[in-house]
Amino acid sequence: MTSIPVLTPSIAATSLEAQIGNTPLIGFRRVTAHLPPHVQIFAKAEWHNPGGSVKDRAALNIIREAEASGQLTPNKIILDSTSGNTGIAYAMLGAAKGYRVKLFLPENASPERMKILRAYGVDLVFTDPLEGSDGAIEAVRALAAREPARYFYANQYNNPANWRAHYKTTGVEIWQQTQGLVTHFVAGLGTSGTLMGTGRRLRDYNPAVQIIALQPDLAFHGLEGLKHMPTAIKPGIYDETFADRQLSISTEAAYNMGRRLAREEGYLVGISAAAAMAGALQIAEALAEQGQSGLIVTLFPDNAYKYLSESFWTED
């Protein structure tokens, strides 16, 4: 009888967790063509993370720190509120690590995100769309308080593991990728983890780096994933005195920039990414007008694939 050899190939496999972070820094040609050479804009393309967004970073660190502290054990269910991307990251990592996941999200979250969450088998609870992310936060807090032994409440808006994810990774990557030449960092405000963690790391490297926070200009807006801080439940990890400057971006300006990035640069980005680019361009144009130089870095949280049901893409 012929024996069958056991194959032991030398294959270097990469784990799911190892694929999170180290995203590329991308540049622009047409949208920034009017800027002088000494003013540049770059963006972190966070859709390269396996879950498709920057939220993979925070979710991974929240889970790792909770496991290390004993707050998250195999018998507990990961619980949180989300507008979509963090929930997808929890779902992906929960599936990979063997945790069940229960999420509260507004009923008007994009249908693409809902389908992704359902594909991962997440237990979904929908909240009043008129209450936005704040309604989901209040609902999940109530459940976590009722059944603390059953759930690990990840609490992304108040968990310092959120901003520490960006302190450990995003800020380090930006500093290395720009060879320490970054002068401005622009980030949208949702949980505020990206701004707070990345900003703290960049300031550790160089206190002169300007940190700019970006948010919608109105309480009622169409910038999914971003918060209008004056009228929202403020995240516990957010320090409103931290940023050097606050920028307000209109929904219309973000939608217009989203179309421009797609049609002029070939980058089909999410709504909050388009808002971030609109803000970065404002900073760049002001520097150019004042005759100053600058290397501005912003962050594109995700691409547009979860927002293609929105009608604004086909408008002129």
- Residue range 55-157 in CATH 3.30.200.20: no
Q: What is the pLDDT of residues 201-257, one digit of tens each?
A: 999 999 999 999 999 999 989 898 899 999 988 999 999 999 999 999 999 999 999
**What average pLDDT does the segment 63-69 reach?**
98
Q: Using CA atoms, how far apart are residues 296 and 39, in angstroms rounded to an integer?
A: 8
pLDDT: which is higher, 82 or 166: 166
- Residue range 17-53+167-314 in CATH 3.50.50.60: no
Residue in 55, 102, 227, 306 annotated catalytic: 55
Confidence of residue 9 (pLDDT cuts 50, 70, 90): low
**What average pLDDT does the segment 187-205 reach?**
97
Confidence of residue 2 (pLDDT cuts 50, 70, 90): low
Share of the chain above pLDDT 70, in %: 97
pLDDT at 112 over 80: yes
Asked whether the beta carbons of 89 and 56 are under 8 A apart, the reply is yes
The pLDDT score that the predictor gives to residue 312 is 84
Residue in 83, 133, 272, 306 annotated catalytic: 272
Told to judge if 272 belongs to the known catalytic residues of this protein, a careful annotator would answer yes
**Where in the sequence of the chain do the CATH 3.40.50.1100 domains occur?**
17-53+167-314, 55-157
pLDDT at 13 over 80: no
Bridge partners (DSSP) of residue 299 are: 44
The pLDDT score that the predictor gives to residue 225 is 86
Q: What is the pLDDT of residues 97-107, one digit of tens each?
A: 999 999 999 88
pLDDT: which is higher, 23 or 3: 23
Told to judge if 55 belongs to the known catalytic residues of this protein, a careful annotator would answer yes
